[in-house]
Amino acid sequence: MDRNLGVDLVEQIVGGVSLAVGSGALAHGASLPGIRRMAKDLSVSEIVVRRAVKELCRQGVLQARPRVGLTVCGGGRRSWRGVVAGIRPAHDSGMYYANVLEGTIASVLMKNGWLFARMEWPDSPGGAGTDVAGLLKCLSPALVVALFPSPAMLAALDRSGLPFVQVWTKKRSRKARMYIRPCADAALSRLAVAFAAHGVRKVLSVYSNVSGIDCTTVLKKSGFSVWKMCIASLDGYMQPECVQRAALEAFDRLLAKGPIGADAVVFNDDYLTSGALSAFERHGVRVPEDIRLATTSNRGLGPVYFRKLTRLEVDPVRHGQGIADTLLKMLDGGECPPEMSIETTFEEGETA
């Protein structure tokens, strides 16, 4: 069970049991633990398990028999049209956008009859990635959805011969059936207009992960001088508090040496922004009087700072729905373009 995934807990149990039955891990006539035991093992309520069992019985996957309990139905019949495998790097498991995006895609596909099997690509080098690639082949998925794939993950998918699409990555594989990329050009153009109106000339672009939105190209074309600064999250984790604290410490050190030499700062993460703003306050730097500021943020996550930030906003629910609709068309044999963009919107606040 993954409470960060954004998929209903009942759907996760239904999908997991169906996948076990369809793959043969649970054979015809096999018995399952009782409701109470399953609830304890899965760390969910008995109500959730009862709802999942009721749905599995309705689909013909399980049968509830008096004095016998829950058993797998004859032949292990699956009610799913097929399997779609979702795979992403293990290190981004705490990222809000990635979790909601994947959860929305999974929910839409499962409601339309496709079982979504979630997998993680290990961060550490070695043979573990090969094991994941082998498991993917055993599932015989109709499609693999690679979210934020690393070069190693793309190379393994290229070798696998499995049909796949890649979502939100800079390097494009020629073997991917579709390349789904973020597009923030229109939003950044509006930000450039807002900056120019206030006399901004020099911009510092701050990021914590390479998969985020890169503002450099658009702002340079708009006439700004732009340079980059990378802030690695503490302990290597993309958890909000780790990112926030890393930004606070980095800007503390930077501001202790004097002015940062920029008229504006653009962050690719709103928790980076929050940490940096705390450092600005410590050193008496006023926003937007002394320096202008904008950030990438997630719609639905809620404010991370008490003031309304100027932001480049991404919407994981809308993006996930759009991606899932396109995948359903692809799975049904429809014509799909080789490339798809997911748009970022500009939301003006008090800081630019």
pLDDT, tens digit (0-9, with 9 covering 90-100), for 116-138: 888 888 766 555 555 677 777 77
pLDDT, tens digit (0-9, with 9 covering 90-100), for 220-241: 999 999 999 999 887 766 678 8
CATH 1.10.10.10 placement within the chain = 9-76
CATH 3.40.50.2300 placement within the chain = 82-183+318-342, 185-314
Which ranges constitute the DSSP H helices of the chain?
9-23, 35-42, 46-58, 96-111, 128-139, 151-160, 185-197, 216-221, 240-256, 270-282, 316-331
**How far separated are the first and last CA of the chain, in Å rounded?**
42
**Domain 185-314 sits in which CATH superfamily?**
Response regulator (3.40.50.2300)
The pTM (predicted TM-score) of the whole model is 0.79
CB contact at 8 A, 106 and 138 = no
Q: Which tokens sit at 93?
A: 């498991």
For residue 332, pLDDT over 70 is answered with yes
pLDDT, tens digit (0-9, with 9 covering 90-100), for 200-218: 999 999 998 666 788 999 9
pLDDT, tens digit (0-9, with 9 covering 90-100), for 249-271: 999 999 999 999 999 999 999 99
Assign 3-class secondary structure to 219-235: HHHCCCEEEEEECCCHH
CB contact at 8 A, 75 and 30 = no
CATH code for residues 82-183+318-342: 3.40.50.2300
Q: Which tokens sit at 198?
A: 């206030």
pLDDT, tens digit (0-9, with 9 covering 90-100), for 142-163: 999 999 998 888 998 998 899 9
pLDDT, tens digit (0-9, with 9 covering 90-100), for 20-56: 887 778 888 889 999 999 999 999 999 999 999 998 8
CATH number of 9-76, picked from 3.40.50.720, 3.30.428.10, 1.10.10.10, 3.30.930.10: 1.10.10.10
- The CA radius of gyration of the chain, in Å to the nearest whole number, is 23
